[in-house]
């Protein structure tokens, strides 16, 4: 079973700061997802990565397959970015195609 570790668990920053959230996993994967869970509980898929880097607006996600590590970056952070960010992986090879989740990073952006 893949072990997914996220850091930090909690992060409070000021508006405008550059944010980095990290995710490490223990075994090979076929895909890694970054999800955003809003204070109301809804979950939105931000990115799906299998290699390299993806950018969407102020969000950037990178993955290093050799190091089994991914980062989510937020540039020019804003209070509306406050949410829980969850890393999830789909392991390669046999086994479930469902996702294994990290515990999440609780981000608060203060005005």
- Please give the residue ranges that form the binding site for other proteins (CB under 8 A): 31, 33, 35, 41-45, 48, 86, 88, 90, 95-104
CB of 28 to other proteins, least distance (A): 17
CB of 48 to other proteins, least distance (A): 5
Ordered DSSP codes for 24-65: EESS-EEEEEEEEE-TTS-EEEEEEESSEEEEETTEEEEEET
CB of 42 to other proteins, least distance (A): 6
Q: How many residues does the chain have?
A: 111
Residue 78 CB partners (closer than 8 Å, separation 6+): 15, 58, 109
Q: Is 57 helix (H, G, I), strand (E, B) or coil?
A: coil
Question: Residue 70 or 100: which CB sits closer to other proteins?
Answer: 100
Question: Residue 44 or 76: which CB sits closer to other proteins?
Answer: 44
Question: Residue 43 or 108: which CB sits closer to other proteins?
Answer: 43
């Amino acid at each position: 079973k893949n072990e997914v570790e996220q850091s930090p668990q909690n992060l409070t920053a000021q508006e405008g700061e550059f944010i980095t959230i990290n995710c490490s996993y223990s075994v090979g994967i076929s895909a890694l997802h970054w999800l955003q869970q809003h204070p109301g509980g809804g979950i939105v898929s931000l990115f799906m990565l299998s290699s390299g880097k993806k950018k969407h607006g102020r969000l950037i996600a990178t993955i290093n397959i050799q190091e089994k590590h991914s980062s989510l970056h937020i540039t020019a952070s804003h209070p509306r970015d406050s949410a829980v960010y969850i890393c999830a992986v789909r392991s390669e090879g046999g086994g479930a195609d469902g996702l294994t989740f990290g515990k999440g990073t609780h981000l608060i952006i203060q005005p």
